[in-house]
């Protein structure tokens, strides 16, 4: 089944304890991205990656890191989490370069992160 898989689904952590949220896709997509969703603010892009080894900041990158060492994986790293990073996080992927009009985005099931 074609899908984007995020882990963990739920995570409660303490301020300052480094964590990684994994994202993997099995569709051979070039493009991957991370979004966070907050009440009243909607979904906002954190980082994106056009292809392996190429990443760039989105709208709200502060406090986050990413890496794209292989096409299928795009982990989100919080080096020193803070309470304002409590949110619902989504990973997405897209073929992107192959006919941008025709191809949409596939999203993972989300990771609910609470930082106390």
Partner 1 sequence: KQEVTQIPAALSVPEGENLVLNCSFTDSAIYNLQWFRQDPGKGLTSLLLIQSSQREQTSGRLNASLDKSSGRSTLYIAASQPGDSATYLCAVAGFQKLVFGTGTRLLVSP
Q: Footprint of partner 1 on this chain (CB under 8 A)?
A: 33, 35, 40-43, 45, 48, 50, 56, 58, 88, 90, 92, 100-110, 112
- Cα–Cα separations (whole angstroms), residue 80 to 15, 36, 99, 113, 115: 7, 17, 38, 13, 10
The answer to whether residues 9 and 109 touch, using CB atoms and an 8 Å cutoff, is yes
Number of H helices, E strands in the chain: 0, 11
Measure the CA–CA gap between 95 and 116, rounded to whole angstroms: 37
Which residue number, 67 or 106, has a Cβ lying nearer to partner 1?
A: 106
For residue 104, the minimal CB distance to partner 1 (Å) is 4
Which residue number, 16 or 43, has a Cβ lying nearer to partner 1?
A: 43
For residue 36, the minimal CB distance to partner 1 (Å) is 11
For residue 54, the minimal CB distance to partner 1 (Å) is 11
């Amino acid at each position: 089944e074609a899908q984007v898989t995020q882990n963990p689904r739920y995570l409660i952590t303490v301020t300052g304890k480094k964590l990684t949220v994994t994202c993997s896709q099995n569709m051979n997509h070039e493009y991957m991205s991370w979004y966070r969703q907050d009440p009243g603010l909607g979904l906002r892009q954190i980082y994106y990656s056009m292809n392996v080894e190429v990443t760039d900041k989105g709208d709200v990158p502060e406090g986050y890191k990413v890496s794209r060492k292989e096409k299928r994986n795009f982990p989100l790293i919080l080096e020193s989490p803070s309470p304002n990073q409590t949110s619902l996080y989504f990973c997405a992927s897209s073929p992107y370069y192959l006919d941008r009009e025709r191809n949409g985005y596939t999203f993972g099931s989300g990771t609910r992160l609470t930082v106390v």
